[in-house]
Amino acid sequence: MNTAAPNHGPLAASSPGDTLDRGDSDVVLIVDDVPDNLAVLHDALDESGYTVLVAMHGEAALQRAAQALPDIVLLDAMMPGMDGFEVARRLKASPLTAHIPIIFMTGLTETEHLVAALEAGGVDYVTKPIKPREVMARMGVHLGAARKARADASQAREARNALDAFGYASITVRAVDGRIVWQTPLARDLLKAYFGEASPWAPEQVQAWLRRHVLAENAAELLAHAQAEPPRLAIDQGARRLTFRLHQQAGDSEGGGDWLIVMREVSDAKIIESMSLSFKLTAREAEVLYWVVKGKINRDIGDILGASPATVKKHLERVFAKLGVETRTAAAGMAMNRIRQLHPQFEG
């Protein structure tokens, strides 16, 4: 079995710098200042296939937990110095160890002590004298729940990373206050690029757009009558555009709930380059065609490209010849069809 201390001396725990060999077993950290209690539990858990870590006081418990990240902690409530309640509070306050379930071991059965154990972050408690079989039964329940939570989190993380790999960033935003519940790495980078410094809150434009579609008095009616989904939000930045698509509700509906929003960046430059290659256009001809697709007239295109309307007209005549069409409408239609084939996320 994997143990962090030999059977004959559970107090001789490995040093914090040691590498823990988990194997396929669950890792248990026992925290108790009474050597006999440690020995009884250590031997029983070791024989049952657990990897066992031990600590005899609060500081050691915090150090071992941060170093080894055990799957569960068995924590004595009453210890000299830092008691178990404070140890639990500190474990739950740290993002590194907050997810670890804690079972309190206590000789105190008064209601206020049991309530204090649960309020400090414990998921369960067992009373002394400790019965190893009872402890392992309680552990089994909470380890199963912890494994499922880790698996669900891992699956969600993999799904979000897969979206990133295809250029789709995603965030979950709490509708009632605009707080970002989670975001993928690509989403974090895009939000920073378009809106400045990173923030725990969604940009104001995104919050207003979300509130309009999910918190307004007629939001349910609007969502029900939307053909596919609510209108997307688009933020332009030079030749780039960031679009936000309301995907689905990710949490309960209280206060508007949490909403999964999928983001996608579209670069005009990439679209113009693909049109140039598809229709064998020069770079300037492709630019002119792109702005025709966007509904711009020759004068506007000239202002955008720094050219005269007459020059734009000449470019457009060459575009018509290469595409085999005679009108702006036909050229725009042909270009739009090709763009949507190559860039499905494009919005003309």
What range defines the domain where residue 56 resides?
27-154
Number of domains in the chain: 3
Q: CATH number for the domain including 303? A: 1.10.10.10
Task: Decide: 4 and 20 in contact? Cβ < 8 Å.
Answer: yes
Shared domain for 334 and 297, answered yes or no, is yes
User: Is residue 103 domain-shared with residue 217, that is, in the same domain?
Assistant: no
Q: What is the mean pLDDT of residues 293-318?
A: 92
Same domain? 232 vs 252: yes
pLDDT at 48 over 60: yes
- What is the maximal distance between C-alpha atoms in the chain? 95
According to DSSP, residue 212 is labeled H
Q: Tell me, what DSSP letter sits at residue 13? A: P
Q: Say if 88 falls within a structural domain.
A: yes
Same domain as 202, residue 263: yes
Average pLDDT over residues 121-130: 86
What would the mean pLDDT of 81-88 be, rounded to a whole number?
Answer: 92
CA distance 280 to 194: 33
Query: What digits encode the pLDDT tens for the residues 240-249?
Result: 788 898 877 7
In this prediction, residues 63-88 reach a mean pLDDT of: 91
CATH number at residue 83: 3.40.50.2300
Q: How far is CA 347 from CA 231, 260, 293, in A?
A: 11, 21, 10
* Residue 315 forms part of a structural domain: yes
Asked if 251 and 148 sit in the same domain, the reply is no
pTM for the whole structure: 0.43
In whole angstroms, how far apart are CA 329 and each of 32, 154, 268, 283? 80, 49, 20, 21
Considering the domain boundaries, does residue 286 fall inside one? yes
Instruction: Provide the CATH number for the domain around residue 242.
Output: 3.30.450
CA distances from 62 to 16, 34, 35, 55 (A): 11, 18, 19, 9
The highest-confidence range among 175-189, 207-221, 246-260, by mean pLDDT, is 175-189
Question: What average pLDDT does the segment 123-134 reach?
Answer: 87
- State which of 241, 267, 293 marks the end of a domain: 267
Quick one: pLDDT at residue 11?
A: 39
Evaluate whether residue 159 is within a structural domain. Answer: no
Residue 24 pLDDT grade (very low, low, confident, very high; cuts 50, 70, 90): low
Query: Is residue 8 domain-resident?
Result: no
For residue range 236-278, list pLDDT tens digits in order.
Answer: 876 678 889 887 776 555 556 788 898 888 777 778 888 888 8
pLDDT of residue 223: 55
On whether both 33 and 125 belong to a single domain, the answer is yes
